[in-house]
């Protein structure tokens, strides 16, 4: 099967996203052809390493690229400075130097950790992304955001550091837990709302083949998300402007995620956050009731949650203020104006936010 290619055009930092089934076993050949590095550390969590570590190691061994697998415990709890310190020491002990590179094999946590590590180890070494969750394939592996959490908040320490390539093997979705697949679909719906009304309609019409992971459908879906992400990042790599639209659903979503003590996974919290943002947009007069209902209905169609569980209002508001997108106490919201178009604003009345947090 031919590969689907998407380019992220960032001048000398440009790279290709390759999308195809069976790609894991062809990554070595591509790395060899592109002469990225002759030695790699594959960074993966313990769950994904068991599933795919050996296949990736073999793919590199087949073309005589030296590679070693280094693992860390699975889960968001590992996305911290200690893991970065431990992995740095491990790389140093194994003699990795600035000619060598890293491969992030895993979901969003692995990509964020590995990208951050690559950006600071020996003052920066090359890395490539091999995302194995839908969320990482359509969002976090593309665009160069890296980082870790600190006790004061999620992703508060990090860098912008682009990978040299992204390899998306569709086959790995077969082993993805259903809940994580659903979480990724929330980010997929996000692209329709913020950027592409046709894609929004396509998602409505193709719900069953998407949920069945029909091959051509999933390739089209991932490719369209990556194209949109690339277009946005190409205009605003460091999130000074338009890139902020990618945070649609994340402002209230992050607060819900934190208030749930992370028992609600990121994607599901984003689904709730998108419904809440749509309601807020209706209240502020920038979105029609009909479009807000269409957003909610598509989210429901994909079996995602649409209501905020009953949390203390003050707790939710505390987390809203702690969001790193908050500037000088002003919370910024990404509000839809129509399907396919959003605006970023801090001009939102507190009573409207409170009403949404209470009743959405």
Which are the catalytic amino acids?
A: 123, 145, 187, 229, 239, 243, 247, 250, 254, 266
Nearest residue to 284 (alpha-carbon basis) of 242, 198, 207, 342: 342
Taking CB under 6 A as the rule, which mask of x and - marks residues 166-185 in contact with ligand GLY? Answer: --------------------
Say whether 328 sits in a helix, a strand or coil: coil
139 sits near ligand GLY (criterion: CB under 6 A): yes
Using the contact rule CB under 6 A, the part of the chain among 64-72, 136-144, 337-345, 349-357 near ligand GLY is: 136-144
Residues 6+ apart with CB under 8 A from 190: 246, 248, 249, 270, 274
| Least distance from ligand GLY to the Cβ atom of residue 86, Å | 26
8 contacts ligand GLY (rule: CB under 6 A): no
Q: Judged by CB under 6 A, does residue 192 bind ligand GLY? A: no
CB 325 within 8 A of CB 345: no
Q: Which residue is nearest to ligand GLY (CB)?
A: 246
Q: How many residues bind ligand GLY (CB under 6 A)?
A: 7
* Residue closest to 20 by CA, chosen among 183, 226, 267, 232: 226
Residue choice 106, 111, 143, 253 for contact with ligand GLY (CB under 6 A): 143
User: Is 243 one of the binding residues for ligand GLY (CB under 6 A)?
Assistant: yes
Contact between 114 and 88 under an 8 Å Cβ cutoff? The reply is: no
Provide the H-helix boundaries in the chain: 27-34, 46-48, 54-61, 81-93, 108-120, 134-135, 178-195, 197-205, 207-211, 215-235, 250-259, 266-283, 289-301, 313-322, 350-359
Regarding 253 and contact with ligand GLY (CB under 6 A), the answer is: no
Window of 137-145, 209-217, 283-291, 312-320 that interacts with ligand GLY by CB under 6 A: 137-145
Q: How far is the CB of 118 from ligand GLY (least distance, A)?
A: 17
- Cα 70 to chain centroid, rounded: 22
Closest C-alpha to 254, from 154, 187, 149:
154
> CA–CA separation, 60 vs 79, rounded Å?
27
User: What is Dmax (Cα atoms) for the chain?
Assistant: 63
Least distance in angstroms from the C-beta of 139 to ligand GLY: 5
Closer residue to ligand GLY in complex, CB, 68/239: 239
246 binds ligand GLY (CB under 6 A): yes
Q: By C-beta, is 91 or 135 nearer to ligand GLY?
A: 135
- CB of residue 11 to ligand GLY, shortest distance in Å: 19
Nearer to ligand GLY among residue 164 and residue 229 (C-beta): 229
Q: Is 254 in the site for ligand GLY (CB under 6 A)?
A: no
**Sign of torsion over alpha carbons 182, 187, 191, 194:** positive
Q: Does 107 bind ligand GLY (CB under 6 A)?
A: no
Alpha carbons 208 and 203: distance in angstroms, whole number: 9
Write out the residues near ligand GLY by the rule CB under 6 A. Answer: 139-140, 143, 145, 239, 243, 246
């Amino acid at each position: 099967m031919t590969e689907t290619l998407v380019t992220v055009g960032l001048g000398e930092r440009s790279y290709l996203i390759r999308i195809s089934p069976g790609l894991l076993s062809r990554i070595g050949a591509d790395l060899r052809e592109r002469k990225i590095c002759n030695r790699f550390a594959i960074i993966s969590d313990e769950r994904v390493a068991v599933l795919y570590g050996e296949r990736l190691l073999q793919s590199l061994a087949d073309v005589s690229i030296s590679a070693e697998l280094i693992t860390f415990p699975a889960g968001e709890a590992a996305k911290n400075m200690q893991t970065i310190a431990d992995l740095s020491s491990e790389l140093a002990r194994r003699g990795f130097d600035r000619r060598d590179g890293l491969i992030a094999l895993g979901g969003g946590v692995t990509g964020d950790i590995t990208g951050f590590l690559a950006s600071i180890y020996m003052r920066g070494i090359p890395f490539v992304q091999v995302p194995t969750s839908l969320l990482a394939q359509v969002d976090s592996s593309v665009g160069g955001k890296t980082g870790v959490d600190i006790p004061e908040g999620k992703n508060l320490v990090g860098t912008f550091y682009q990978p040299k390539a992204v390899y998306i093997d569709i086959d790995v979705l077969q082993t993805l837990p259903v809940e994580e697949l659903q979480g990724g679909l929330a980010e997929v719906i996000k692209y329709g709302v913020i950027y592409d009304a046709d894609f929004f309609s396509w998602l409505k019409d193709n719900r069953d083949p998407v949920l069945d992971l029909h091959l051509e459908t999933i390739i089209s879906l991932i490719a369209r998300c990556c194209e949109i992400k690339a277009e946005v990042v190409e205009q605003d790599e460091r999130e000074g402007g338009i890139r902020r639209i990618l945070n649609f659903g994340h402002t209230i979503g992050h607060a819900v995620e934190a208030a749930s003590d992370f028992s609600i996974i990121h994607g599901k919290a984003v689904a709730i956050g998108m419904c809440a943002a749509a309601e807020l947009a209706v209240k502020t007069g920038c979105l029609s009731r009909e479009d807000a209902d269409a957003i909610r209905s598509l989210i429901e169609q994909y079996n995602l949650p649409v209501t905020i569980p009953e949390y203390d209002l003050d707790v939710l508001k505390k987390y809203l203020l702690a969001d790193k997108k908050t500037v000088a106490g002003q919370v910024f919201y990404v509000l839809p104006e129509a399907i396919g178009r959003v605006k970023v604003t801090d001009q939102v009345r507190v009573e409207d936010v409170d009403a949404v947090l209470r009743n959405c």
